[in-house]
Structure 1
Amino acid sequence: MCQDHTPPRPQLPGEEGQRAEFPWQLGAVDAHCHPTDTMASIVSVPTMRARVLTIMATRSQDQDLVAQVAARHSFSDRAALATPPTEGSAVTDKIVPAWGWHPWFSHQLYDDTSDGHSTYDGSLASTSEEEKANQQARHYTAVLSGNPDAAFIASLPEPKSLSSFLAETRRRLEEFPLALIGEIGFDKGFRLPVPWTEEEWANRNQGETPGARGNRALTKHHVEQDHQVMILKAQLRLAGQLGRAVSVHGVQGHGILFDALSSLWKGYEKEVLSRRQQRRIAPGAEDFSDFSSEESDREDIENRDVNSNKTENSQPYKPMPFPPRICLHSFSADDGWVKQYMRPQIPARIYFSFSTEVNLTGPTDAKTQALGEKFAQVIKACPDDRILLESDLHVAGEEIDYYLEHIYRKVCLIKGWTLEQGVRQTRKNYEEFIFG
């Protein structure tokens, strides 16, 4: 999730005067965006050149908005995605919805799902305004760093129970069989913004969905690490129960995020046989060890239709405590973490998504050059079949199309793909991410 603005457009990669036409007709997809933050822009969705927008919910104010957009514009089967739009025509079935609670807003949820001592008692909070204020102070003091004062706590919304949010999300996912859980994750660097002043609130952009930061300054207050991880893992477990993919945010805490994910698949790791073990299983047989166990497992996953909770041989999906498919959105770690996530023992299928806004935008200086070099190393380290591309923008229409084209062109240059190869490959990756 990027900041709440539309950044200036970067120049499209490629030689001026020799830039190939972008093959929109092949079905370019946006794996992660937030156009419900600017609801007036949704009218442009049918005429956009992108074939699919994967729209994330992040907080209380946009859960219903994503549902409203999905009710009008979602598609329900793989055949619809495989059908290219006619040039210049309006296409209404363009949305894959995702519902989740972003780490920036994780303090607004309290845990009533575990046996531990809850930070908030909703039954007491309903007895009087004074008790409600006391309960709210108790919760926010527990989950925020830096000892927030009474005025700051009073500016925050009444906390919502985790159990009610999970129940609402389950109902939405059951209504939309292709929907994801997202945007969820962990963010070590984020700090909460200062409260709105009356003047700022009156003069804010009225077209933006409430709840976002806007242009407010940031306080010293972080959401405590343990609380973020608890909210994240609860949503990951729900995805595992329903066999849904997830879109995950990770900033300045890649080790913490990896530990949270791996704690859920602990005990479910895949057995990886050495070449010697493979030969012992089939003495005298041809050595197929160059065909890795990961490739074999990938074929098994591709043959599974998780979205209908059936496999090809009509076996029901077996719920797991971890999601079957995980997209690390706007992936900002180095190539060493790519190798860590690609270990063949990991039972979930991991994808890496990239955006111009997060991965490439910055001032033109030595720092930006270093950022570009790191980005190229990461792209080269990513297996071709695990790359997804996104805009991460907060407004639908031409801006998403432009930024999507920019990141496609950049990745194709690094990978040595033609634009046609890049669009076909990433669309295939996206289909496998969504459909299983």
Structure 2
Amino acid sequence: MESELKEMQARLETVPRSVLEHVIDVHCHPTDSDMAMTLRVAEQMPIRICAMATRRSDQRLVADLARAHPDKVTPCFGYHPWFAHWIALSPVVSKEEHYRALFLPPSPPPKPDLVAAFERLLPYLPDPTPIADILPELRESLETFPNAMLGEVGIDRACRVPYRRPADPPYSEYAPTHGDEDADGPRSLSPFTIPLEHQLGVLEAQLGLAVELGRNVSLHSVKCQAATGEVLDRMYRKHGERWLRISVDLHSCGLSAQTFRDIAKRHPNVFLSLSTVINARSPAHKDLIAACAPDRILVESDFHDVRCSAPYTWHMLQTIAEVKDWRVEDAWDADAPEDRWGAVRRLEENWRAFERGGHRPYVKRRQRRDRAIEEWEAENSESD
């Protein structure tokens, strides 16, 4: 990994800063690393970033970074599905009752080994926080920053709850990956995953706030292809055109190409972004790039160290350019006509469309035909 990063950084050094200033890393976690270093490095950072919060203790860190570098950092506030079990959807009677309801439902009766695992896990778990306390804090954070997004939020069927107490910042050495190991070696994992129904309750409460405030969303989805489509469909049915006012990015998108096509057809406000650190593990990510409409794709690093944000984002930008057969700019021409745009300009324009929101609903072919007939009949009746 170290040699790979050195190669990426060497490539980046050949790119003019005038080009890099138009690159946007739409999803990263710079506050998971030492904040003194992050604040210092961000000052010289050539690209713009969207910095994600994940749990109650890092919302303030994201706000601090955005205040320090408002021209380079879009703050994103929200609660990640890996920590959804720390949030209670109903009033808390006791810590044990809350977690027992999630991990040891009474029917069918739990096996003795699961009961033993629960008893081992319980001391590591924090007191749950009612969502009634979470949402006002989240609202305040979003309203403090007019350009803030909701993120990182989502659903995840793969992550198992570790035998580990919640860590204090910085988080990078503790953060779980999409598999069963973190970057520094194996972790001790319990057999428990967070029930999807509970994750959806936490997610949809946050999405409701995003719709109300008109804020875009960075959405996590792992091993949840069908459930992701279903939650997007529910939001569209529930909120209608208010849902289309905002944009949703399926970050480090791991959906199949066909699943994304199906979602994109139903949801004109859904984009995808890809990262080298997650998506390049599978050759299928190039099929996903090819399947995505050229105006719905974004790029990210999904990295916890701000020093790696630019090289990893640039690497994925080059991959997208290769698959899409886009040239990569070696100089910046703000007046270039659209047919001469390179990958950086195209992705920047996609980001601007994502930021603006206000997407138009799709009109089915039959509805378009009927509307055209009605307009023709109206024009001809007037001429008669």
- The reply to whether TM is greater than 0.5 is yes
CA distance change for structure 1 residues 338 and 24 in 2, over 3 Å: closer, same or farther?
Answer: farther
**Which residue identity is paired with 1:411?**
I
Shift of 1:408: 0.9
**Equivalent position of 1:386 in the other structure:** 296
TM-superposition CA deviations, 1:47-72 (whole Å, max 9, x none): 1121x110000012211111111121
- Is 1:259 aligned to 2:233, yes or no? no
The count of corresponding residues between Structure 1 and Structure 2 is 322
TM-superposition CA deviations, 1:166-223 (whole Å, max 9, x none): 1111111111011000000010111011225xxxx9xx99854797446532221100
TM-score relative to the length of structure 2: 0.77
Q: Is the 8 A contact 1:29 1:390 kept in 2?
A: yes
**Equivalent position of 1:286 in the other structure:** none
1:235-254 to 2 correspondence within 5 Å? Answer: 235-254=206-225
**Equivalent position of 1:61 in the other structure:** 57
- Is 1:161 aligned to 2:130, yes or no? yes
1:191-210 to 2 correspondence within 5 Å? Answer: 191-195=160-164, 208=171
Inter-partner Cα distance in structure 1 for 2:256 and 2:285: 8
**Equivalent position of 1:404 in the other structure:** 313
**Equivalent position of 1:98 in the other structure:** 76
CA distance change for structure 1 residues 166 and 144 in 2, over 3 Å: closer, same or farther?
Answer: same
Q: Is the 8 A contact 2:210 2:216 kept in 1?
A: yes
Inter-partner Cα distance in structure 1 for 2:256 and 2:225: 10
TM-superposition CA deviations, 1:345-389 (whole Å, max 9, x none): 43x51110000000004xxxxxxxxx22x2221111111111110
CA distance change for structure 1 residues 340 and 7 in 2, over 3 Å: closer, same or farther?
Answer: farther
Inter-partner Cα distance in structure 1 for 2:232 and 2:298: 20
Q: 1:106 is paired with a residue of what secondary structure?
A: helix
**Equivalent position of 1:326 in the other structure:** 248
CA distance change for structure 1 residues 95 and 206 in 2, over 3 Å: closer, same or farther?
Answer: closer
**Equivalent position of 1:432 in the other structure:** 353
CA distance change for structure 1 residues 418 and 22 in 2, over 3 Å: closer, same or farther?
Answer: farther
- Is 1:341 aligned to 2:300, yes or no? no
**Equivalent position of 2:274 in the other structure:** 354
- Is 1:232 aligned to 2:203, yes or no? yes
Shift of 1:260: 1.4
Q: Is the 8 A contact 1:22 1:419 kept in 2?
A: no
- Is 1:45 aligned to 2:52, yes or no? no
CA distance change for structure 1 residues 341 and 12 in 2, over 3 Å: closer, same or farther?
Answer: farther
**Equivalent position of 1:419 in the other structure:** 328
TM-superposition CA deviations, 1:55-102 (whole Å, max 9, x none): 00001221111111112112xxxxxxxxxxxxxxxxxx2000000100
CA distance change for structure 1 residues 249 and 170 in 2, over 3 Å: closer, same or farther?
Answer: same
Inter-partner Cα distance in structure 1 for 2:95 and 2:161: 16
CA distance change for structure 1 residues 7 and 180 in 2, over 3 Å: closer, same or farther?
Answer: farther
Shift of 1:257: 1.4
Q: 1:165 is paired with a residue of what secondary structure?
A: helix
Inter-partner Cα distance in structure 1 for 2:173 and 2:133: 21
Q: 2:162 is paired with a residue of what secondary structure?
A: coil
**Equivalent position of 1:222 in the other structure:** 193
Q: Is the 8 A contact 2:55 2:80 kept in 1?
A: yes
**Which residue identity is paired with 2:46?**
R
Identity %: 30
Inter-partner Cα distance in structure 2 for 1:164 and 1:153: 22
Q: Is the 8 A contact 2:32 2:169 kept in 1?
A: no
Out of 4, 9, 14, which is 1:9 matched to? 4
Inter-partner Cα distance in structure 2 for 1:72 and 1:255: 40
Structure 2 residue runs of 5 or longer lacking an equivalent are 105-113, 177-181, 330-341, 358-384
Q: 1:385 is paired with a residue of what secondary structure?
A: coil
1:270-281 to 2 correspondence within 5 Å? Answer: none
TM-score relative to the length of structure 1: 0.68
Shift of 1:238: 0.7
Q: Is the 8 A contact 1:182 1:248 kept in 2?
A: yes
TM-superposition CA deviations, 1:277-315 (whole Å, max 9, x none): xxxxxxxxxxxxxxxxxxxxxxxxxxxxxxxxxxxxxxx
Q: Is the 8 A contact 2:77 2:152 kept in 1?
A: yes
**Equivalent position of 2:15 in the other structure:** 22
